[in-house]
Amino acid sequence: MTNKMMRVIYPFTAIVGQQRMRRALILSAIDTRIGGVLIRGERGTAKSTAARALAALLPPVQVVKDCRFGCDPNSPITWCTECRERFDHGEAVPVETLRTPFVNLPVSATEDRVVGTLDIEKAIQKGERSFEPGVLASANRGLLYIDEVNLLDDHVVDVLLDSAAMGMNIVEREGISFAHPARFILVGTMNPEEGDLRPQLLDRFALSVDILGILDPRQRVQIMERNIAFESDPEAFREEFLPKEQELSAQIAQARKLVDKVSYTPRDLLMITNLTARMQVDGHRADLVILKAARAHAAFEGREAITPRDIALAAELALPHRVNAGPFRHSEMGLTQLEEQIEQLKGAASEGGAAEDESQQEQSDSKTGQKKSPSPPESNLAPNPLDPSP
Ligand SMILES: [Zn+2]
């Protein structure tokens, strides 16, 4: 397919506002091991635009050529059964470069369609292992998008979240097994007016964001202007944002290399568990998610150690859906308290110590999470590389 024939995708960096959503998507693109992102919002809030736009922006991936699962040539321990066998037989493992895949999962998808199927008869009769890849195979190294995830079969959601967490899809039937890597960015969206997810499933999404309508008149003008410009000449509009797209793409690529080197102290861990314990969040998933997301955020800003501000920005994405499912359920109190705790953490970041280098960023970013910010949020974001305004 040539470029001209492809539908032009709205640039990620042209999205106005919605900092939390952009942050959640970027962090999960830096480290897919954080887990899935749930975006809740009404219709027409650009949820699918954002997911598509992110996939279009991500750096190309190197894959083993001819592998049906897009194995990573640089990570043999994650290889599929077929690549392993090729390698064991002394075959060369050729490499090619592909765009980041974007896979849209239909709401009617069955478990077989998602995980793939092993042909047992063929195995028994001919002694050949025959595996028909499913959605998880096409999503490997890419972004798996599920619109209206609340309407999907619970069991299928379960399987998807399992694979996303493990980074692997293992299919076993009657003593025969097949494994392939399934590392992908999982983005589910839902309209809360059309029913909720069960609390157990909710907790398995690592990060969640509630999309709120934008009330700032200037931002609304910007949204209108950009929509009109995109509609009238999508290619020219994309061209205009190309430098920003490339810059963000390169920043994500750098962060992916850095994220495993980002360090943290026992004090950082205690800060995380203090926060989750105070908010009465059950289980330990939230603690791990906050740590991973904080490391990804530090890597995104090119740092090799996490700060209280990284923890606060990660908690803002990891906790709201968990606080709502806990003892604070059905009360506004929980979320208000959470906001207060997080603001305190952000404040701690500017009190000298390890956070000296943060002060400038802090000023620019400290209001992004506040709902009741007196000034327009976008105006506080000038030095932020995500900020699309000129
Ligand atoms: Zn492979």
Using the mean position of ligand 1's atoms as its centre, give its distance from the Cα of residue 54 in Å.
Answer: 25
pLDDT in tens, 98-156: 999 999 998 889 999 999 998 888 777 777 778 999 999 999 999 999 988 888 888 89
Using the mean position of ligand 1's atoms as its centre, give its distance from the Cα of residue 120 in Å.
Answer: 21
CA distances from 50 to 18, 53, 57 (A): 10, 5, 11
User: Residue 191 burial (CB < 10 Å; 0-12/13-18/19+)?
Assistant: middle
Lowest-pLDDT range, 35-44, 159-168, 253-262, 371-380? 371-380
pLDDT in tens, 154-184: 889 888 888 887 899 999 888 888 899 999 9
For residues 276-295, average pLDDT: 91
Please indicate, yes or no, whether residues 275 and 364 belong to a single structural domain of this protein: yes
Please indicate, yes or no, whether residues 30 and 176 belong to a single structural domain of this protein: yes
CA distances from 280 to 167, 265, 271, 320, 381 (A): 29, 23, 14, 12, 32
pTM: 0.83
279 Cβ partners below 8 Å, 6+ apart? 319, 322, 323, 326, 328, 334, 337, 338, 341
Domain that holds residue 150: 18-210
Q: Is residue 5 part of a domain?
A: no
Using the mean position of ligand 1's atoms as its centre, give its distance from the Cα of residue 72 in Å.
Answer: 8
Using the mean position of ligand 1's atoms as its centre, give its distance from the Cα of residue 112 in Å.
Answer: 20
Please indicate, yes or no, whether residues 193 and 264 belong to a single structural domain of this protein: no
CB atoms within 10 A of CB 128: 9
Using the mean position of ligand 1's atoms as its centre, give its distance from the Cα of residue 69 in Å.
Answer: 5
Domains: count for the chain: 2
Q: Is residue 1 part of a domain?
A: no
pLDDT at 57 over 90: yes
Using the mean position of ligand 1's atoms as its centre, give its distance from the Cα of residue 367 in Å.
Answer: 45
Decide if 70 contacts 61 (C-beta within 8 A).
yes
First to last CA, the chain: 33
pLDDT recorded at residue 130: 85
Using the mean position of ligand 1's atoms as its centre, give its distance from the Cα of residue 62 in Å.
Answer: 12
54 Cβ partners below 8 Å, 6+ apart? 12, 25, 26, 29, 143, 185, 187
Please indicate, yes or no, whether residues 109 and 205 belong to a single structural domain of this protein: yes
Name beta bridge partners: 39. 189, 209
Q: Is residue 130 part of a domain?
A: yes
Q: Is residue 219 part of a domain?
A: no
pLDDT recorded at residue 325: 63
pLDDT recorded at residue 71: 95
Please indicate, yes or no, whether residues 199 and 309 belong to a single structural domain of this protein: no
Decide if 50 contacts 21 (C-beta within 8 A).
yes
Q: Is residue 297 part of a domain?
A: yes
Counts for the chain of helices (H) and strands (E), in that order: 16, 11
The whole-angstrom separation of Cα 156 and Cα 241 is 37
Domain with residue 77: its CATH number is 3.40.50.300
Using the mean position of ligand 1's atoms as its centre, give its distance from the Cα of residue 119 in Å.
Answer: 18
Query: What pLDDT band is residue 390 in, cutting at 50, 70 and 90?
Result: very low
Using the mean position of ligand 1's atoms as its centre, give its distance from the Cα of residue 83 in Å.
Answer: 4
Using the mean position of ligand 1's atoms as its centre, give its distance from the Cα of residue 88 in Å.
Answer: 13
What are the residue numbers of the active site?
285
Q: Is residue 277 part of a domain?
A: yes
Q: Is residue 81 part of a domain?
A: yes
For residues 286-290, average pLDDT: 95
Domain end residue (candidates: 176, 210, 244): 210
The whole-angstrom separation of Cα 138 and Cα 178 is 16
pLDDT in tens, 305-335: 999 999 999 999 999 888 866 655 555 566 6
Q: What is the mean pLDDT of the chain?
A: 83
164 Cβ partners below 8 Å, 6+ apart? 32, 35, 36, 144, 182, 184, 186
Output the DSSP codes for 79-137: --HHHHHHHHTT----EEEEPPPEEEE-TT--HHHHH-EE-HHHHHHH----EE--HHH
- What is the Cα Rg of the chain in Å? 22
Please indicate, yes or no, whether residues 176 and 39 belong to a single structural domain of this protein: yes
Domain end residue (candidates: 183, 210, 237): 210
Query: What pLDDT band is residue 31 in, cutting at 50, 70 and 90?
Result: very high
Q: H or E stretch including 144?
A: strand 143-146
Please indicate, yes or no, whether residues 200 and 289 belong to a single structural domain of this protein: no
Please indicate, yes or no, whether residues 356 and 272 belong to a single structural domain of this protein: yes
Please indicate, yes or no, whether residues 160 and 290 belong to a single structural domain of this protein: no
Please indicate, yes or no, whether residues 39 and 125 belong to a single structural domain of this protein: yes
Q: Is residue 218 part of a domain?
A: no
pLDDT recorded at residue 334: 66
Please indicate, yes or no, whether residues 174 and 291 belong to a single structural domain of this protein: no
Please indicate, yes or no, whether residues 171 and 61 belong to a single structural domain of this protein: yes
Domain with residue 273: its CATH number is 1.10.8.80
pLDDT in tens, 58-100: 999 999 998 999 999 999 999 998 899 888 888 888 999 999 9
Using the mean position of ligand 1's atoms as its centre, give its distance from the Cα of residue 170 in Å.
Answer: 13
Q: Please provide the size of the chain in residues.
A: 390
CA 339 from chain center: how many Å? 22
Phi/psi of residue 175, each to 5°? 80, -5
The whole-angstrom separation of Cα 371 and Cα 216 is 12
